[in-house]
Structure 1
Amino acid sequence: MAVTSFFLYYRPIPAMLQPSFIQIICRNLALGAGLLVMPCIADAKPPINKAVSVRFATFNTSMNRREAGQLANDLANGRDVQIQKIAAVLQHVRPDVVLLNEFDSPWISRSVDHFQNNYLSQPQFGNEPISYKYRYFAKVNTGEPSTVDLNGDGKVQGPQDAFGFGFFPGQYGMLVLSNYPILISQAQTFQKFKWSDMPEAMTPTMPDSGKPYYSAEAWSQLRLSSKSHWIVPIAIGKSAINFITSHPTPPVFDGPDDHNGCRNHDEIRLVRDMLDPKLGGYLRDDAMRPLPRKRMKHFVIAGDLNADPNDGDSTGNPVEMLLAHPLVQDPLPESAGAEEAAVAQGGKNKDHVGSGKFDTGDFNDSAVGNLRIDYVLPSKSLHVINSGVFWPKQGAIGFDWLDASDHRLVWVDVKAP
């Protein structure tokens, strides 16, 4: 999830579990990747021809720290067990293009070097090293001072008055790693886009008075994206696939005004509006460029969207704007481990409408239960070959890595266009 205080609501240390370890082993055996050699059992999915497939993934790594520079130090020493487990998951699933959420961004260029050299390039728990040739990162709003009193407490200081909740600039940042070239000059970021510039925005109001939650000054300055929204073109063959990435705020930690629920809704709406140049005609990126005139041919939406289509505390079921979009397909990634966890943990999970096998986050069972909030959604122009959630069942290889984050890596294989 997006903020440290979120752990008061969701489980801070997840129970550990994965999708089909066997699926990934079969895939890599077929590709000659040299991973652990073991037989492909009956329920394994068919191996994938790497020559025509690209694996996209999203992973909220929980690599956030309370102080600026702490993550950079942990990455530099190469001995942090949590990061070793995060690296093990990436080495095991081996995505070609991946969004990492909650990767603190102070000193990020050096931090990414250390993450690659000290963790990804080193075998973790018996996995083969993995190397990423290309990377993309940009500024985010978390911890960035707004200079206005956003929460109305009469003070202009602290994480609640930052453009996105955070104790220092760059906390809970984002990072894209890729084995395919990134067309950086064509990338667009929407970090500074103001919420008030969205037509018919879901403006938070006080239910008892109907008055706006934010002051006129705050509303005129508040940015919509709690971290940032990026369109990152990835060159694959003769085509480009636009990697649309974000990390909306959780729809909780507010009051009857529901300002976080409203913001989560409109952050997801922003993703939807990016898909249509007419609908998103109001948008201007941080360089004041509009969306391209032509609709994107190929895209993959990725991120921790903090919204479940059936359960949880979302306002207005915002993720349905993407799942039901005529240009978007939902591969419905699943795992046996998630289904096992929902049954074993009980609590709120017993009351859920959605099937536990689609969950991607392991949260407080007495408050909200496990949820599907992490997504990889390709455009319908792309042919989906396979998908999954890294959530092993108890006792399976990888189970012991999962306490590194309360989120699970989600992956989708698509045929290269």
Structure 2
Amino acid sequence: MQTGHVTTPFGRRAMSLALVKGQMAIADPDPGVRIEKWKVFRDVCEARERLGLQDRALAVLDALLTFYPHGELNTSCGLVVFPSNAQLSVRAHGITETTLRRQLAALVDAGLILRRDSPNGKRYAHRNRAGEIEQAYGFDLTPLLARATELALLAQDVAAERTRFRRAREALTICRRDVRKLISAAVEEGATGNWDQVESEYVSILARLPRQPNRSQVETTLDEMELLREEVLNMLEMQLKTNEMHGNAVQNDRHLHNSNTESINELEPSSGKEQGENLADNSLTRDEPNEPQKTKREPIKAFPLGMVLRACPQITDYGVGGRIEHWRELMKAAVVVRSMLGVSPSAYEEACNAMGPENAAVAMACILERSNFITSAGGYLRDLTRRAHRGEFSLGPMLMALIKANDQGDRRTA
């Protein structure tokens, strides 16, 4: 049993089991270990928020270390310093005695120093005839030596967290700039689209960011802003493709005129049902060099999994073990939801072919989230599939609307 570090305070200062536990947790440092005292102090300064310390506590710890005569903490030289409160106050830049006592207690509670109180509560040392200290009463710096490695790792983690936070803020600044300038360019050049709604969503995202956000809040805002940027780019890309198709209309008409009559009817069906079915069949069965380029669709871009789960939290209940951590788990859960909502396997297969398996799973998650308002889940999915075939479907608006609705619901509940 290790009891060497357990000591009780003098006078009216109370003892607690938490203090006993903290003292017992301090392991005896190896006799040969030497740690540069100011390096440990810098680590404590870096990790002060994790340790629950204020700036004045660091000033007091700095003053205590100045009373240790050696540059390295070493058990062979003794680790107890015994300055009076008046001496500590002077070296701690004139701190008042009340504040000094409070910050010394904070250092003890943080497990950085120990009290070695004498029988009468005074701080002093017994020396032998050679002038060497045999017994000292005051503040023991052993925890700093024993926890040196732990404090160094904690300081590194704090520095890494600060770097992640800084990079997240930089990424958000760039993303905000991109969205702002893309919206301005679209409005100034008369691009088609509901840019007032996009502008409103941009303002709403920024309004939800606190004045002093933490890293998690910045990353959440960054995810929303990146989703909005992706949606804006999709709208502009669709606009540019439409303009390009109109610009090449004469050439395409001439090209179609040279093809047989059946291909024209197959590529441009008269009804929405024919267009949704025939276009999918032609994309698989026809690969003629004269086929127009407008039948080739780019896949719908996938969105971050975290954003999808935030928009569609109900899908998590159908994951293995009630959680979803990877895209594969989301796709498995979507198959379960498909069966539960009565969507036929053929309808879901067509959606996977049109959107890609990941985005089809996202579509199923969105349908589940809005199942109370959808009469036929299978018919709704087939409609989305037809729109995806025509290049008119994007998951962005659905996800943004669900995120906004969920956030408003959370605020009402709170």
TM-score (norm 1): 0.19
Report which of the two structures shows the higher radius of gyration computed on alpha carbons: 2
Greater helix share, structure number: 2
Q: Which has the higher contact order (CA 8 A, sep 6+)?
A: 1
